[in-house]
């Protein structure tokens, strides 16, 4: 089947029901999306599919064929406002959950360029961080919103 990832169409010989996360990591070598729980409960594997944040660990490859998959590696070009804000606020602790956090934050900001704390809590509630970086994630999303508006 053909999967379009970060703007590039790949011919991949994989079973229809192979999770997209395995295709990304094991077939295409894109290891930004992480395996966490494997049951769509932690958000570490979050990617965008046609602009929506989705859990790639339970998404069958066949259902993503013909859609635009974007991983943390393809979020740019260059560092996005979300990624710059993450660095500015020094969000990351161990880092394992953070690609998924950033992908969820990016999807939120596309839908709501000026999210409230409640919007952030709702949109990010499916992304677990066992290091407890939640307050910095919230701060970084507000900062990214300001950066996107041209503030500093
Ligand atoms: Fe360690 Fe989130 S930074 S799990």
Single pTM value for the model: 0.96
**Which pLDDT tens digits describe the chain residue by residue (152 residues)?**
999 999 999 999 999 999 999 999 999 999 999 999 999 999 999 999 999 999 999 999 999 999 999 999 999 988 999 999 999 999 999 999 999 999 999 999 999 999 999 999 999 999 999 999 999 999 999 999 999 998 65
Closest atom of ligand 1 to CA, residue 93: 3
CA distances from 65 to 52, 84, 97, 135, 141 (A): 15, 31, 26, 36, 31
Ligand 1 mutation target, pool 45, 96, 134, 140, most atoms within 8 A of CB:
96
Total residues belonging to the chain? 152
Within 6 A (CB) of ligand 1 lie 92-98, 129-131, 133
Ligand 1 mutation target, pool 44, 97, 127, most atoms within 8 A of CB:
97
């Amino acid at each position: 089947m053909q999967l379009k990832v970060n703007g590039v169409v790949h011919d991949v010989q994989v079973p229809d029901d192979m999770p997209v996360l395995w295709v990304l990591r094991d077939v295409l070598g894109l290891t930004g999306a992480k395996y966490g729980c494997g049951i769509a409960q932690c958000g570490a594997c979050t990617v965008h599919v046609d602009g929506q944040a989705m859990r790639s660990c339970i998404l069958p490859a066949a259902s993503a064929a013909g859609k635009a998959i974007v991983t943390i590696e393809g979020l740019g070009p260059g560092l996005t406002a979300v990624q710059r804000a993450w660095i500015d606020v020094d969000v990351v602790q161990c880092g394992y959950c953070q690609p998924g956090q950033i992908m969820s934050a990016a999807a939120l900001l596309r839908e709501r360029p000026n999210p409230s704390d409640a919007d952030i809590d709702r949109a990010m509630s499916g992304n677990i961080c066992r290091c407890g970086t939640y307050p910095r994630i919230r701060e970084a999303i507000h900062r990214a919103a300001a950066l996107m508006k041209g503030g500093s």
